[in-house]
Structure 1
Amino acid sequence: MSEHLRTRFPTPNLDRLLQTEPLKGAKVFKTGSSSTIFEAGDSLLRLTLQGSGHNFLAQQSAAGNPNVVKVLRNYGAVALSDTYESGPEVEFYWLAQVERLVEIEVGSEPVIEAWLAQFDEDGQPESQDLPAVAQQCRELAQAHKEYAGFMETLALAAEFRGIESMDLRLSNCMRRPATGELVWTDPLDDCFYEPDPAMEMPLNELFARLK
């Protein structure tokens, strides 16, 4: 999704999406390594390759968790990834309409910032580190009740099925301007996503629909 991917590889599926509603005519608002935020009028649309992150945020938002970005409309998987060739780990483009948030001012949340800083110094947690991350989150939630909901959200993210790593940085957290709540916005690091058969369309049906 980033510019270097778009210039190095053909992207027919992405090009088609950009000519189809609701992305048709939308302007790039912000880009990341595997996600792009588009602005379409008053709406923000988040297009990503990271299926686990998309679905974690969508599921938590639907459950009413105030500490994730609100997914106002979940379009789900909208096309096969342009990087997918074959094999069981099918990759998709995922699309959602999300709320507008504001950045967290550096120095305004010293407890959270100090905890996140360790990952910048020691490296971001990989899959084998995630149980320890979840435990740290819950310990910090106990010690600092004002962050209980936010830290429990990060613990749930660390436990979400199939993820490979988390990108724990202040820039991946934002604030809801109307309430001041801290909000987790970053996708989890895994482009492949295995749907929950109890909740979602089976992978083979999803693949067939978008092929």
Structure 2
Amino acid sequence: MGLSLTSKEVKRALEHPELQGKKPFGRGRYSLVFDNADAVLKLTVDRGAVDLQAYLENACQSLHTLPKIRRVVGEIGECAGQPLWLLEVERLDKLVAGTPQRKQALRLKKIQHGINGKAIAESYFRVAELTCRHMSVSSEIDEQWSNTFRLLADYAAGKHHLGCDFHPGNFLTRPATGELVLNDPFEDRTH
């Protein structure tokens, strides 16, 4: 179930004070993204982003490789029986062809080669962690990504409804630093 601007539920959610008068400039399968000065507002049915953030906070982990949720505005409606969440997330930029970040994203994407795309997320990220560790033991960047994949696998443990959403389109960059960030690493198969 994707989000449609023409659905009654989404139209009702767009009446929320923080979304009034804003037009989406981006979208994902389960989300709409709105400009909000130096951040973005993300309207989503994907509870995973909220749960992942809480998991990382409880694990006392701050990863530079995942987007920072500045605040969870909260559940502001419902769409097809699923809660609609509004989040304020740091602003990230799309990758630019030929940049070191794009090359790194494509290199990390190669980890996926040979892994069953239907695998549950835990298995997928465990394999990604091990593959990344063996790609280059001396690289600090590979170590960061290996740790990211380990934490994502730990988070996904036992959550068989989570699939992987690991593709080049989900890699973005942090404007201030140029760091590569993996956005929305999971796909909730209950939608």
TM-score (norm 1): 0.69
Which residue matches 2:34?
38
Identity %: 24
Partners of 2:65 and 2:144 within 8 A in 1: yes
The whole-number CA distance in structure 2 between the counterparts of 1:15 and 1:183 is 30
Which residue matches 2:80?
83
Once the two structures are superposed, residues 65-97 of structure 1 have per-residue CA deviations (whole angstroms, 9 ceiling, x without a partner) of: 2221121111233333x222xxxxxx3222211
Unpaired runs of at least 5, structure 1: 85-90, 193-211
Partners of 2:33 and 2:41 within 8 A in 1: yes
Partners of 2:111 and 2:131 within 8 A in 1: no
Unpaired runs of at least 5, structure 2: none
Larger RCO (CA within 8 A; separation ≥ 6): 1
TM-score (norm 2): 0.76
Which residue matches 2:18?
22
Partners of 2:71 and 2:87 within 8 A in 1: yes
What's the Cα RMSD here?
A: 3.1
Aligned residues: 182
The whole-number CA distance in structure 1 between the counterparts of 2:108 and 2:39 is 33
- Does the alignment pair 1:159 with 2:154? yes
Q: Counterpart of 2:184 in 1: which secondary structure?
A: coil
Name whichever structure is richer in strand by fraction. Answer: 2
Q: 1:101 to 1:28 in 2, by over 3 A?
A: same
Matches within 5 A, 1:35-184: 35-57=31-53, 59-60=55-56, 63-80=61-78, 82-84=79-81, 91-107=82-98, 108-109=100-101, 110-117=103-110, 119=112, 124-127=117-120, 129-130=123-124, 131-140=126-135, 142-161=137-156, 162=159, 163-184=161-182
Of 136-145 and 48-57, the range deviating more from structure 2: 136-145
